[in-house]
Copies of this chain bind each other. A is one copy, B any other.
Amino acid sequence: MQVIVPFDGETPKTRLENVLTLAERREFARAMLRDVLDAIRDAGGSPLVVSRSRLDLPRTPVSVDARPLSTAVNEQLRASASGTAVVMADLPLVTATTLADLFDHDGDVVLAYGKGGGTNALVSRHDDFAVDYHDGSYRTHLQTTAAIGASLAEVDSYRLALDIDEPNDLAELLLYGSGEAVEWLRDNGFSVDDTGGRRAIQRHTKPIPGGIHPG
């Protein structure tokens, strides 16, 4: 299955700016992207990265498209065979098993819940389906699916729901992740703080101005 993976390599993960510098966020975003690409390939998918800027990736075709996310993804959906997936690049908890299950789900449109109401992954097998990414896109995609008369399947997966947006999400990655992104975090001094009755991240090395705002 063709799998479109949108990626912003220039100014990724702005809500992590209190804990990571821009250069670090670029490195970390690329590590997450590689984790997602590995999982897609291990699940039998063929990734196509849609990047806002030039990007060199071994083994993976890249389409550079600086237009808004939905426009760029819909262009690729239209150009692809029926039965194409879109998987976000900031899902470092995904495994091949998770994605194989997503790809194998029946349904003209298969949607995976995203934390905060987003749509972190989907499969479209209907020519009239188009994405519309924004806050709360999950509901919009439910409505679109109904409006075009397509059959719907919903995938309930924590690994797909948890996109990495803010410092709290890093704790989940440290707890449940494996792969390059979590290794990058550990190499850069991040760990889970178990003290105080509530889990938070802490950083032991390379303190940056402004410090960590855990919890």
The residues of B that contact A158 with a CB separation of less than 8 Å are 113, 115, 156-158, 160-162
The residues of B that contact A190 with a CB separation of less than 8 Å are none
Chain B residue nearest to A118 (CB atoms) is B199
A98 CB contact (under 8 Å) in B98, B156, B172, B199: B156
**When each residue 140-182 of chain A gets 1 if its CB lies under 8 Å from chain B and 0 otherwise, what string results?**
0000000000000000111111100000000110011000000
B175 & A117 in contact (Cβ 8 Å cutoff): yes
Q: Quick one: copies of this chain in the complex?
A: 2
A interface: dominant SS: helix
With A113-B158, A117-B199, A161-B161: A135-B194 Cβ-Cβ less than 8 Å: yes
Most buried by B among A136, A157, A176: A176
The residues of B that contact A117 with a CB separation of less than 8 Å are 171, 175-176, 192, 199
Q: CA A98 – CA B156 in complex, angstroms?
A: 8
Q: Which 5 A-B residue pairs are closest in the complex by CB-CB distance?
A: A158-B161, A117-B175, A158-B158, A116-B199, A156-B157
